[in-house]
Amino acid sequence: MSNQWWPDVSAYSEFLSPAQIVAGRGSSAKVAELLQRRFGVRSGSVLVAIDDIVLDNGLAEPLLAGLREAGIEAVISKGFGAEPSSDVVDAAAALARTSEAQVVIGIGGGSVLDSSKLLSLLLRNEGGSADWLGAVEPAGGVTPLLLVPTTCGTGSEATRIAMVTVDGSKRASSCALYVPDVVVIDPDLLRTLPPRVVASTAMDALAHAVESLMSSTHSPMSAHSAYHAIDLILGHVEAAVAGDQDAVAACLWGSHMAGQALNAGVVFGHSLAYCLAHEKPMPHGVSCALALPYCIAYNQQLEPQLASTLALRLTGGRSDDLRDAAQAVLELVRRLGLPTTLDEAQLPPDSEAAMAAQCVREYPRPTNPEPLDEAKIDRLLQSMRDGDLDAAFAVTTAEALQ
């Protein structure tokens, strides 16, 4: 698109990305070789944080076999679950601190990769994961990281963020050192993903890409990654859900690119998603899919060229109107079999006001283009009860903001 929007190329910006990305079917078998080349690890131990399902299904065996053949001990940590709590991560850290691990390897979905980041910090610093929330700069640095994603959604292998649940609420730890030294993108590790997991994780990735473009801390590089992520995900997600493994691989790359874009920060949509899941537990990708059309509505007062470019991207070139873009996303979510309303997601009746208050109080987004306003978010949530996009857009029309 020759007239697509770009951030100010003369403005100050920062962009983070992994130092080395190794990709291709079967590439996870090369992890031992990468440890030798990148970190000089030829013996001793490494910590392998691993998703239980990945371990039980034998998907990690090529990686683990390579370590055994190289004479490197794999100290395995598991049991992280879908939403790891600070207690779970801290228990893993207590065991890991006795391992003398030279590298932390994370293989799994976002919960395992985020936990791996926190473990890499806790191996070199005192305290527990709840002591390292917000933007942190650990004096002891972090243990080198090698991350291997097994879903096509979180993009955690490319980000500076680690999410952990503390006292029942999701909290973020942010550190530039969490961006790993090495990422391995192996599509073979996704071959057993259930269709609903493919759908929800891909929608999480789409939300990362879209929200990063809205963020006031976007950069030319984050926009570049976001555009390609949107194209890859929208072009392949439905075929991926239907079982096409090449389409799954495309969504895996889309997820990774969206993760790189995510270093510009997500915005209101993720705040809303956290509140939805707090009120009614659901997979993160499901809550992000439900929130995304309404995030677009709330943030409709974007810079005009950005708004039109984003709309064209989300509608496959059919419209430059964000209302049409939000509708296209909502219809995609519905085709994927995910909830598009609060009622479909079984959110408790009359929970909107509590979620609006929590959104502003616990998940403020200073980089969101539209200030988070509790009354407006309450009205937006009411429009989500039965999926009324027109009512959602009415919350932040130019007239409503005057």
Angle of CA points 194, 199, 204, to nearest 5°: 125
Q: What is the mean pLDDT of residues 108-125?
A: 96
pLDDT of residue 398: 73
Q: In what order do the strands lie in the sheet with 134-135?
A: 134-135, 169-174, 161-166
Among 200-209, 333-342, 362-371, 393-402, whose mean pLDDT is lowest? 393-402
Inter-CA distances, 361 with 3, 147, 165, 262, 373, Å: 38, 33, 17, 22, 10
Whose CA is closest to 163, among 120, 132, 185, 196? Answer: 132
- Mean pLDDT along residues 245-273: 96
Confidence of residue 402 (pLDDT cuts 50, 70, 90): low
pLDDT score of 37: 96
Specify the DSSP element, H or E, that contains 298: helix 284-298
- Average pLDDT of every residue of the chain: 95
User: What's the pLDDT tens digit per position in 288-303?
Assistant: 999 999 999 999 999 9
> What pLDDT is recorded for position 104?
97
pLDDT digit string, tens, across residues 127-183: 999 999 999 999 999 999 999 999 998 899 999 999 999 998 889 999 999 999 999
Residue 401: the pLDDT is: 66
CA 375 to CA 203: how far, in whole Å? 27
Q: What is the dihedral of CA 176, 178, 180, 184, to 10 degrees?
A: -130
Where does the pLDDT of residue 255 fall: very low under 50, low under 70, confident under 90, or very high at 90 and above? very high
Domains and CATH numbers, the chain: 20-190 (3.40.50.1970), 195-401 (1.20.1090.10)
The residue among 170 and 25 whose pLDDT is bigger is 25
Residue 1 reports pLDDT greater than 60: no
Q: How big is the chain, counted in residues?
A: 402
- Convert the pLDDT of each residue in 322-369 to its tens digit: 999 999 999 999 999 999 999 999 999 999 999 999 999 999 999 999
What is the percentage of the chain residues whose pLDDT exceeds 70? 99
